[in-house]
Chain A
Amino acid sequence: MKRRDFVKGAGGAALGASALSFLKVLPAEAAGKDGTAVVVIGDTINSLDIHRSGTSRPSYQVAVNCYDRLVAFDTKTLADGSLSYDYSKVRPELAESWTVAPDGMSITFKLKPNAKFQDGTQVTADDVKWSLDRAVSVGGFPTVQMKAGSLEKPEQFVVVDKLTFRIDLLRKSKLTIPDLAVPVPFVINSTLAKKHATEKDPWAREYLHRNIAGSGAYKVARWNPGQQLVYERNDNWVGGKLPGVKRVIVREVPSLSTRRALIERGDIHMSYQIPGKDAKEIKAGGKAKVIGTPVENAINVLGVNFKFEPFKDPKVRQAIAFAVPYEEIFQTAAYGRGVRMWGGKSMTPETPVWPQPFPYTTDYDKAKDLLSQTAFKDGFKVPISINMGLADWQEPTALLLQESLAKIGIETNIEKIPGAGYRTAALVEKRLALHIDTFGGWLNYPCYYFFWAYMKGHLFNSSNYDNPAVDQLVNESLHMETTNPEYAKKVMKMFEYAWADLPRIALWQPVLEVAHKEELEGYEYHFHRVLDARKFSLKT
């Protein structure tokens, strides 16, 4: 009758707290290796299990910090001195080495013999198999993500011996190994999990929802849902260099202004994911440091739905692309923080780099000229739909667009749709005519982006774009190695189509910003955009 446990007022005891090993008064003053870092986030962590259906995005950080995977992305230092994951290099985490078979159809991993779970038991190939089987079997987002790396069936995962694990591939793909480094295929202590599994719950969903059974850099010392999560360092971690702090407290503070007051006063070490306005002002104010990292493989776009009658004419779409007030939107909605995605020199790309600026600029004369060559030269009416959950940047963008499109005779009204409803309308029903959207692919390859956003019927293709040539190019390049000379050619051809057909008009590449106190070092940016605290350290 766990529901009746009223006496567990703060809920800490019932929620997987290991023995509360710290003092009643935390030595927060202690810096150096025994310090405590405090991070605030605006959303809520609602599960410790990324495989659970309904797990919110902020909860993915638990999979990152408390669990390990076979491999991980290496780290690189960016121009501004900040750390970022390196998508081009994969390094060992639980696997000490791996070899691809001569025929390329399987990969054999050798596990680190000293890898231990947080309860002291050894990490074996059986644990890896159970965990990967779980990832491909639970359905929903985790299974879809595994599929992206051609990891689809439990039969592909083979236990060779206690420390050797083999994955049989369905096809050769450059995406398989990187897909093993994303948060989803984490390794669970299957012996511990199976103890809590039941017939109705063979994957131990109930247990892993509230408890960690992993080998990662941190244990969860305390989880008060809706309030805070406390990580405590696992001193037996073998996945990398030990974190430089003993404890990380992640506190949920819904109010943006409060988070800003906290970081500016220095009462917390980091405010994770702040909007452009705050980033600009905090940086100028000098009370805290700000790190902004462009989000790879992501663009904020204006979606133009091919099902809407006027948009079926390519000249109308191009007219719109010339009528977008790019710089104004960038300064107003993004506060000048991001990467400009317009002003490209020609309609044919010269490099296979994505994203890159689209060959359009703000040119109302050109826009009016193009529109006058169509059947809609007298203009038409169309709603601009925005996601209320992202109104902070989408609303100013929509307002500026409204003003500009009116100049070429297109009358618009702004339709605000609440978060969950927006996803369904835009991605599932694909019924929004003109909409503001954003998508970022986890695996940093252009073909991956096009797979999700440009292929017919695929989820993030909210514009009903249907081009068999593009579909073919994506299918051919998706699993091709980037070193293959054909790859660059195919990818650049895809860009050409994207720029000519314009189902998505690029506005700017967003930036992920964090504000942190001088003392906190070791922030590392990742494609998954959640907090990775494993390199944290506090300066003394």
Chain B
Amino acid sequence: MSGSRLAIVGHRLLQAVPSIIGIIVVTFLLTRALPGDPAAYFAGPAANEESIAQIRAQLGLDKSLPEQFWVYVVDLVDGDLGTSLTTGQEVTDDILRRLPASLELTLAALIFSIGVALPLGIMAALRENSWIDHLCRVVVTAGVSLPTFFTGLFLLYIFYYLLGLAPAPLGRLNILYLSPEPVTGLYTIDALIAGDFDTFWASFTQLILPSITLGLFSLAPIARMTRAAMLQVLGGEFVRTARAAGLSRRTVVITYALRNAILPVITTLGMVFSFMLGANVLVEKVFAWPGIGSYAIEALIASDYAAVQGFVLTMAILFVILNLFIDIIYTLVDPRVGIDS
């Protein structure tokens, strides 16, 4: 990146700091405002009042709220997100372990989604109100209206239980294989880097059903947005000129129309990505995928403050970085758009 871009990125990151601080304070207060007592949960099966009070002191929950907040912030500066009560591990370890799993799933789902929704949206726009437009409508409506756990279980039932085509839904990797040397944390990429095609194929096949399940859900926004944007662009003067000038169909649609229509689609992609990352709990549960969504839900149910706060903070930072990334892509796609005024 050029020097000015770097400066702009740095500037943007700095701008995000107040929001992050706000998020830290709000999550802290919200988790403690929730009903549910972590001390009671973790004091265990034979806990009486004494044991619960003991655990509460151990967890530091008997201190006043400002005191607890101070302890939390001091640890945070140190890079310590606390210890999760549900998993018994450090929250940082948990998140660093589970985030790549969710990222891999979400990226795969997104690739599937784009691969289906983009062409569908383009064709629907090109042949407005034809059978393909209606097909597009039906497919995306079905995808978004069926709940993910239903689609997941249904696909499992057909492709695993009845047909035996899909591998056993035991998580990211079949028990026969060891996970590849971690480089990015994404098993498929790491396996390729290590040149291990067996493990690559194993982790890839485990990924197919869950990513399709998740991807079906995001077909709707992407397809509809593509269709709408394309329709608008295709109605423009310059497209008429291009056609009249005799440019090939392909050049008109892809090079000229799509490139101009892609901006709103990219925004949608960004929103869809961040939504899928955090809200894929049900898919993770059905396919035993050790992702960050189910981690957060477990923590929430158990009033596991450190884990919930760590999760929200991570997602907030991720979101900031994602937005920045999208803004940079804008400038690459459309030279008229500058990152900042």
A225 CA to B55 CA in the complex, in Å?
22
In Å, the complex CA distance between A289 and B185 comes to 38
Q: How far is the CB of B314 from chain A (nearest CB, A)?
A: 13
Q: Which residues of A contact B35 (CB under 8 A)?
A: 421
B47 CB–A CB distance under 8 Å: yes
Enumerate chain B residues within 8 angstroms of A267, measured Cβ to Cβ: 168, 170
B32 at the interface (CB under 8 A from A): no
Residues of A within 8 A of B92 (CB): 3-4
Binary contact track B289-314/A, C-beta < 8 Å → 1, others 0: 01000110010011100000000000
Query: CB-CB < 8 A to B38: which residues of A?
Result: 420
- Give the nearest-CB partner of A140 in chain B: B51
Within 8 A of A (CB), among B10-49: 35-38, 40-49
How far, in whole Å, are A261 and B163 apart by their CA atoms in the complex? 12
Q: Is the CB of B48 within 8 A of A459?
A: yes
Q: In the complex, which of the residues A2, A11, A54, A459 contacts B97, with contact meaning CB atoms closer than 8 Å?
A: A11
Complex Cα distance A38/B181, Å? Answer: 24
Give the residue of A225, A418, A419 whose beta carbon is less than 8 angstroms from that of B87. A225
Residues of B within 8 A of A6 (CB): 96
Question: With a CB–CB cut-off of 8 A, which chain B residues contact A228?
Answer: 171, 175
Chain B residues near A47 (CB-CB < 8 A): 88
Query: What is the CB-to-nearest-CB distance from A86 to chain B, in angstroms, rounded to a whole number?
Result: 24
Among A152-160, A250-258, A502-510, the one that faces the other chain is A250-258
Residues of B within 8 A of A420 (CB): 36-38, 40-41, 301-303
Selected from A12, A54, A261, A264, the residue in CB contact (under 8 A) with B88 is A54
- Of B78-86, B139-147, B223-231, B330-338, the one contacting chain A is B78-86
Q: Which of A225, A253, A261, A418 contacts B89 (CB 8 A)?
A: A225
| 19 extra interface residue pairs, beta carbon distance < 8 Å, beyond A209-B88, A225-B87, A254-B294 | A6-B96, A9-B97, A25-B176, A44-B87, A52-B88, A54-B44, A141-B45, A225-B94, A226-B94, A226-B97, A252-B288, A253-B288, A258-B156, A258-B169, A261-B161, A265-B164, A424-B52, A459-B46, A459-B48
Question: Is B285 within 8 A of A3, CB to CB?
Answer: no
Interface size class on chain B is 35 or more
Interface flag for B153 (CB, 8 Å): yes
Distance of B48 from chain A, by nearest CB (Å):
5
Q: B199: shortest Cβ distance to chain A, in Å?
A: 8
Asked if A46 and B88 make an inter-chain contact with CB atoms under 8 angstroms apart, the answer reads: yes
Known contacts being A20-B178, A53-B42, A141-B45, is A227 close to B51, with CB within 8 Å?
no
Q: Does B128 contact A (CB under 8 A)?
A: no
Q: Is the CB of A144 closer than 8 A to any CB of chain B? A: yes
Task: Please tell me if the beta carbons of A139 and B51 are within 8 angstroms of each other in the complex.
Answer: yes
- Nearest chain-B residue to A47 (Cβ)? B88
A-B contact pairs, 9 of them (CB 8 A): A5-B93, A9-B179, A28-B175, A56-B86, A257-B153, A264-B161, A421-B36, A421-B40, A459-B48
Is B137's beta carbon under 8 Å from chain A?
Answer: no
Q: Name the A residues within 8 Å of B62 (CB-CB).
A: none
| Residue pair A419, B301 in contact (C-beta under 8 Å) | yes
A424 and B51 contact, CB distance less than 8 A: no
CB–CB B176/A225 < 8 A: no
Contact A8 B182 (CB under 8 A): yes
In the bound complex, do residue A24 and residue B177 qualify as a contact, i.e. CB atoms below 8 Å apart? Answer: yes
B67 at the interface (CB under 8 A from A): no
B175 partner residues in chain A, CB cutoff 8 A? 26, 28, 36, 38, 228, 249, 251
In the assembled complex, which residues on chain A have CB atoms less than 8 Å from the CB atom of B157?
261
Given contacts A44-B87, A46-B87, contact A428 B49 (CB under 8 A): yes
Residue B2 lies at the interface, judged by CB distance under 8 Å to chain A? no
Shortest Cβ distance from A15 into B: residue: B89
CA distance A226 to B87 in the complex (A): 7
B86–A141 touching, CB < 8 Å: no
Q: Within 8 Å of chain A (Cβ to Cβ): is B100? A: yes
In the complex, whether B160 has a CB less than 8 A from a CB of chain A is yes
CA distance A261 to B155 in the complex (A): 12
Residue among A47, A57, A139, A424 facing the most chain B CB atoms (10 A cut-off)? A424
* Residues on the B chain within 8 Å of A262, using CB: 168-170
Shortest A37–chain B CB gap in Å is 11
* B287 sits at the interface (CB 8 A): yes
Task: Compute how far the CA of A11 lies from the CA of B96 in the bound complex, rounded to whole angstroms.
Answer: 10
Q: In the complex the two chains form, is B51's CB within 8 Å of A226's CB?
A: no
A91 to chain B, nearest CB (A): 26
Q: A28 contacts which chain B residues (CB < 8 A)?
A: 175-176
Q: How far does the Cβ of A65 sit from chain B's closest Cβ, in whole Å?
A: 18
- In the complex where A25-B176, A139-B54 touch, is A265 in contact with B88 (Cβ < 8 A)? no
Q: In whole angstroms, what is the CA distance A350 to B45 when docked?
A: 33
- Given A6-B96, A28-B175: A54 and B85 within 8 A (CB)? yes
Cβ-defined contact, B40 with A428, below 8 A? yes
- B303 (CB) vs chain A CBs: closest residue: A420
Provide the bound-state CA to CA distance between A139 and B45, in Å. Answer: 13
Note all chain A residues with C-beta closer than 8 A to B178: 20, 24
Chain B residue contacts of A4, Cβ below 8 A: 79, 92
- A side interface size, CB within 8 A: 63
Q: How distant is the Cα of A263 from the Cα of B219 in the complex, in angstroms?
A: 33
B90 within 8 A of A: yes
- Asked whether A423 is an interface residue with its Cβ less than 8 Å from the other chain, the reply is yes
**Contact residues of B between 93 and 126, Cβ < 8 Å to A:** 93-94, 96-98, 100
Chain B residues closer than 8 Å to A261, beta-carbon distance: 156-157, 160-161, 169
Beta-carbon contact of A419 and B41 below 8 Å: yes
A10 within 8 A of B: yes
Instruction: Report the separation of the CA atoms of residues A363 and B87 in the bound assembly, to the nearest whole angstrom.
Output: 48
Is A46 a contact partner of B86 (Cβ separation < 8 A)? yes
In the complex, whether A7 has a CB less than 8 A from a CB of chain B is yes
Let me know if A423 and B36 touch, CB within 8 A: no
Partner of B44, one of A2, A53, A265: A53
Q: Does A145 contact B (CB under 8 A)?
A: yes
Bound Cα distance from A6 to B92, whole angstroms: 9
Q: Which of A212-257 contact B (CB under 8 A)?
A: 224-228, 249, 251-255, 257
Please determine whether B198 and A25 come into contact, CB atoms closer than 8 angstroms: yes
The complex places the Cα of A11 from the Cα of B170 at a distance, in Å, of 18
A75 at the interface (CB under 8 A from B): no
A268: CB under 8 A from chain B? yes
Whether A265 pairs with B168 at a CB distance below 8 angstroms is yes
A17-39 interface mask toward B, CB cutoff 8 Å, 1 = contact, 0 = none? 00010001110100000001010
Residues of B within 8 A of A254 (CB): 284-285, 288, 294
Residues in B whose Cβ lies below 8 Å from that of A258? 153, 156, 169, 286-288
Contact of A55 with B by CB under 8 A: yes
Docked CA distance A267–B171 (Å): 13
Shortest A144–chain B CB gap in Å is 5
Are B177 and A251 in contact (CB-based, < 8 A)? no
| Closest B residue by C-beta to A53 | B55
Question: A36 — which chain B residues lie within 8 A by C-beta?
Answer: 175
**Once the chains are docked, how many angstroms separate the CA of A44 from the CA of B288?**
12
- The verdict on B4 contacting chain A, using a C-beta distance below 8 Å, is no
When distances are taken between beta carbons in the complex, the residues of chain A under 8 Å from B37 are 420-421, 424
The answer for the CA separation of A521 and B285 in the assembled complex, in Å, is 29
Choice from A2, A144, A265 contacting B46 with Cβ under 8 Å: A144
Q: Looking at the assembled complex, report how far the CB atom of A60 sits from the nearest CB atom of chain B, in whole angstroms.
A: 10
User: Which listed residue, B80, B98, B288, touches A251 by the CB 8 Å rule?
Assistant: B288
- Shortest Cβ distance from residue A191 to the other chain B in the assembled complex, whole angstroms: 25
With both chains docked as a complex, state the minimum distance between the C-beta of B84 and any C-beta of chain A, in angstroms. Answer: 8
Bound together, the chains give a CA A45 to CA B208 distance in angstroms of: 28
> Chain B residues with Cβ under 8 A from A144's Cβ?
46, 48, 51
Give the residues in chain B near A25, CB-CB below 8 Å: 176-177, 198
CB-defined contacts of A38 to chain B, threshold 8 Å: 175
Q: In the bound complex, do residue B52 and residue A227 qualify as a contact, i.e. CB atoms below 8 Å apart?
A: no
B248 CB within 8 Å of chain A:
no
Q: Which of B41, B47, B90 contacts A140 (CB 8 A)?
A: B47
In the complex, chain B residues 230-259 whose Cβ is within 8 Å of any chain A Cβ: none
B58 CB–A CB distance under 8 Å: yes
